[in-house]
Every structure is written in C-alpha cells, then in structure tokens.
Structure 1
Amino acid sequence: PDTNTYNQSVVADACKGLDVVVIEWAWRRQGLVLAPDNPLGIAGVQDLAAKKARVIARQPEAGAQILLQYLLAEAGLAMADLKVLDHPVMSETDLGLAVLEGKADAGLAVASVAHQFRLDFLDLHQERYDLAVRRRDFFEAPVQALLAFAASDGFATRAAEMAGYDVSGLGRVVYNAP
C-alpha cells in the first residue's frame, strides 16, 4: 500500500515465466464507512481506538483487511487495540449493512459501499485495480470485447454513479512481462 505499484512485484513473482500484461482497470477510493453524520466524530484510524468504535472486520485475506492493518500500523496501532466485532464479514456489502443497521460503528471498504447505503465515508487511500492477462490473450476477441465495453460512455457513467471510482486510465498497459 505504500506505493502505487506494489502489486507489480506480486504479479511478477506469481507469473514468473508467463507472458503477462497488466492493464489498468480503475482507481478506487478506500476508507472508513461510518454511520450517517459520523456520530462518533471519527477523523482517522486512530479514532477507532480512542473513541472505542465498534469495528467490523473483513476476513483475514481480504485486501481491505490487509489495508486496515497497514493503516493501523502506520498510526502505531494494531487490531488488538480496537473493539472488533466477533465475526468478520465476507463482503463489503455486508460491512455496509452492519454499519447501516447499527451493529458496527465503522469498517474499511470502498467509497461506493458508503454511497450505496447513504453512509458517511472517510477517505483514507486510493488504490489502482488492475487486470492481469496473458499477452496473447490480450489480443483475443473476448478480452478486446471486455475492454471495448469498459471504454464505453455507459460504463464510465455507471462508474461515476457508484462513487469512488476513476476509470479514466482504463486499458492502459502498466506492466508488460519481459
């Protein structure tokens, strides 16, 4: 999370020996999903501990959970410092519902979840979401059809309606395996 290219080394290691191309899909905003009007006045991850917020976690391997742990570490905190609910949720939608229903005060998710449920959102991180394909498949009809659809005005409009997504660089090659 500390660079905008941290995933390239992961792709390079996982796909060693394969002819992989990584294509930019979208940038997305991630942060704390909070109850409407942010009743606890949470202004950053440090407030999750200071204000004893009930935090809903994601499953351990979820990218959002890994990001939350990273952001906490940057603030000198750990999950053990928080009042974390007993059962993690398996999706960002479930996280948003837990906050909406008052079961949790906060959780980390993409901005579109907060927008969908009309919850407050505290922006903490921007992440590039990429699509990795084998170089030869990049030129095949199914991938080209997907990219053509994603480059349409309708797709861009829908991404804007969801909130927190920027698809202006969609289709740009960001990594081409040697």
Structure 2
Amino acid sequence: MIRIEIQPRWRFHQSDGSSLDPQGLALLQAVHDTGKLTEAAARVGYSYRHAWNLLGKWQEFFGSPLIELERGKGARLAPLGEKLLWADQRIRARLSPQLDNLAGELELELNRVLQASNPGLRIFASHGFAVAALREWLEQDPSWQWEVQFRSGSEAMIALHRRDCEVAGLHVPVGPLGALSLKRIQPWLRPDLRVITFVERTQGLILAPGNPHGVQGLADLLRGDLRFVNREQGSGTRTLLESLLRRDDLDSAAINGFHNEEFTHAAVAAFVASGMADAGFGVEAAARQFGLTFIPMARENYCLLCHEDSLDLPAMGALLRVLQNPEFQTRIAQLPGYALSRPGEVMPLPQALEQWRKESLL
C-alpha cells in the first residue's frame, strides 16, 4: 500500500539574490515550548552549537534576532521569531487539508494501478479534529483504499446524494438551531439513509490569550475595535455562526472582518494567535492547540451518513470497528471540547431525526 505525504515548504528571498530555507522553524517551536535553548536543541536533534549557529545565520539574514536570552531566565522568542512561528503554523493549518486531499487522490490512483489493496470507502467530511484523527487511524490499516476528503458539509451531502462518496459527515446543533440546520439539508435527506453516531463537539468564540478585549459574547463582535476572522462560505461552522447571529438579531455586516475567510478551525485559531485578528469562531480544540481563550456558544452532534446498501460493503465493517475501538475512542476523548456519542452505532434516519427534533425542543 503506497502512502503519499505532501507538506508545504517556503523560502525567504532578499533583493540581493540571497535566500534562506526556514529549516529552523522546528527549533523555534521547541524554544517556545521549553523556554531553554539547550532543551530545544535536544528536542529537535541538534547540538547546542549547531542550534546557535543556525540562529545566528537567520539573524544575519534578517538583521534581527529570533530569540532573546536572559541569564537565569532561559530563552524566549523575539518578536520576529514569534511572527515566523505563527506564519508557519498558519500556512500548515490552511494548506494541509487541501494537500491531504490531493495526496489521498494520488494514493488511490497509484494503488489501483498497483492493486495494492481492496476497495475501501470514500468519506467526505468537513475538516475537524475528530475527522482528522479518524483519517489517521484508518490509514494505519493498509488493506483498504481509504479516501478521506475534507469537504464542506453541504458539499459532502451533495456528494452522498450523487453517490460520489459512500460516507458523508454531518453536524447538527443541539437545541432549536438543530431544526434550522436540518431544514437546509432537507432536499438531500432520503429515507434509505443511515446515521452512524460519532461525537459531540463544542463551538464558540476563539480569542487572544487572556481575552484582552473583554469579549463576553457575540454582540461584542459588532464593536468597531475588534477584527474578526471567519470560516469559508458554505462551511457548517459558518452556517452555525450565521444562525446564532440571526437568533440574537445581530447584523453580520457590522462585524469588522466577517468576510475574512479561513478554511479550517486550526487556520482560524492560527490567524488569531498571530495577532492578525482579535476573534474567530470554531471548535474548542483549535483554541486550546494555540493557547487561546475560548467562550463556548453551541454544541453539535457530529455524525456520519451513508446509504443503507453501503452498510453491506466490507470496508464499512472496518470503519465501524474503528469507531468502536476503545483505543480510538480514548484518542477522541482527549480532544478538548469533544465528547463521545456512542460512536459506531447505526440507526435509521427517521429515528435520528426524531432524536434531534426532541433536542431542538429543549
């Protein structure tokens, strides 16, 4: 089974023709995490001398230090070092899903030619921490051709309706907003669909560490001094936010940066962490990943949908076994803001709809 990994790579260029490969970014991350250059160098496998020389090369190129050393206080990132680290994290957060999608497509084609594995499942789901963990877990089983594509919720539903995939991700808010969410996807809901339960997750406001602007809720986003970063149009998270704003009679047009878009929860958090925005909206796990403040706003049922006849596919049994695997469930339970919701259980769509309808009355 051939696996393909595509990673973003960037270089710096000066007007005099000199260039620099940012190979020291891992070292900057380690300095940020440990607060000591000796420990940071050991973590990335460098000698202290090599780490020092590398930082010196970077300082010479930029004409500004990347770290600051204080006797008895260890090391910390200088402003330039912080900006470089956040830039790298933003690049990876924004591009990784698209690159993973491309890698998955190439893997599928190559392995079909090589006949290296059995036909698996095409799973289209919005990018999130639980789905990313599921993808990683599935790829540990080389006997199946798993194709996990990160798509918006609406794209996934349309693809399932057209039989362009066997499994689609769906998140339905808990409470009255759930009914509105289901109304939007009603054209693609059919009686033969089956719901595979997965997780509950919490979404809310992602803010700079310590909440320096004193944000208390969505109404504060309309203040002129706040810069906002949003998810892309058509994403379930964007739809959820717009529903919350309508519920509270808040005008999205008054939000500074409402049309600034990022394509993943992590990219939104990285944007806020870099200081380019004061607030964003997404899952709690993204906020915690970047050490940001999080204010919960809504809970969602995140499940998987499939057609009834797809349950007979051999790979579907493998998927259900992963969802029911205690080790995989432990991995998901460790994600901030995620809670297990009887993962791997299958129920008819009408039964799930009735359950969500009852929740909407709460």
TM class by smaller structure: 0.7 to 0.9
Selected match of 2:187 from 8, 13, 22: 13
In structure 2, relative to structure 1, the CA distance for the partners of 1:7 and 1:174 (3 Å cut) is: farther
Selected match of 1:156 from 329, 333, 346: 329
Name segments (4+ residues, structure 1) moved above 4 Å.
3-12
Q: Which amino acid aligns with 1:113?
A: A
Confirm or deny that 1:127 pairs with 2:289: no
In structure 2, relative to structure 1, the CA distance for the partners of 1:118 and 1:174 (3 Å cut) is: farther
**Residue pair 1:69, 1:79 contacting (<8 A) in 2 also:** yes
Confirm or deny that 1:67 pairs with 2:240: yes
Structure 2: unaligned runs, 5 residues or longer: 1-172, 352-362
Give 1:146 shift: 1.1
Give 1:48 shift: 1.3
**Residue pair 2:252, 2:258 contacting (<8 A) in 1 also:** no
Q: How does 1:5-84 map to 2 (within 5 A)?
A: 13-16=187-190, 19-50=192-223, 52-84=225-257
Give 1:10 shift: 5.5
Q: Which amino acid aligns with 1:119?
A: L
State how far apart, in whole Å, the 2-side matches of 1:133 and 1:98 are: 34
Partner of 1:114: 287
Backbone CA RMSD of aligned residues: 2.3
Deviations 1:70-124 (A, max 9, x none): 1112222121111116631122111011011011111110111012111111000
State how far apart, in whole Å, the 1-side matches of 2:347 and 2:272 are: 36
Scaled by the length of structure 1, the TM-score of the pair is 0.87
How many residue pairs get matched?
177
State how far apart, in whole Å, the 2-side matches of 1:78 and 1:61 are: 18
- What SS is found at the alignment partner of 2:241? helix
- What SS is found at the alignment partner of 2:316? helix
Confirm or deny that 1:144 pairs with 2:324: no
Structure 1: unaligned runs, 5 residues or longer: none
71-80 or 48-57: bigger deviation: 48-57
**Residue pair 1:8, 1:175 contacting (<8 A) in 2 also:** no
Deviations 1:136-162 (A, max 9, x none): 222432112111112122212211222
Give 1:50 shift: 3.4
Confirm or deny that 1:103 pairs with 2:288: no
State how far apart, in whole Å, the 2-side matches of 1:177 and 1:74 are: 27
- What SS is found at the alignment partner of 1:118? coil
State how far apart, in whole Å, the 1-side matches of 2:281 and 2:233 are: 13
Scaled by the length of structure 2, the TM-score of the pair is 0.45
**Residue pair 2:177, 2:243 contacting (<8 A) in 1 also:** no
In structure 2, relative to structure 1, the CA distance for the partners of 1:4 and 1:88 (3 Å cut) is: closer
Which structure carries more relative contact order (alpha carbon 8 Å, separation 6+)? 1
Give 1:19 shift: 2.0
**Residue pair 1:12, 1:177 contacting (<8 A) in 2 also:** no
163-172 or 29-38: bigger deviation: 163-172
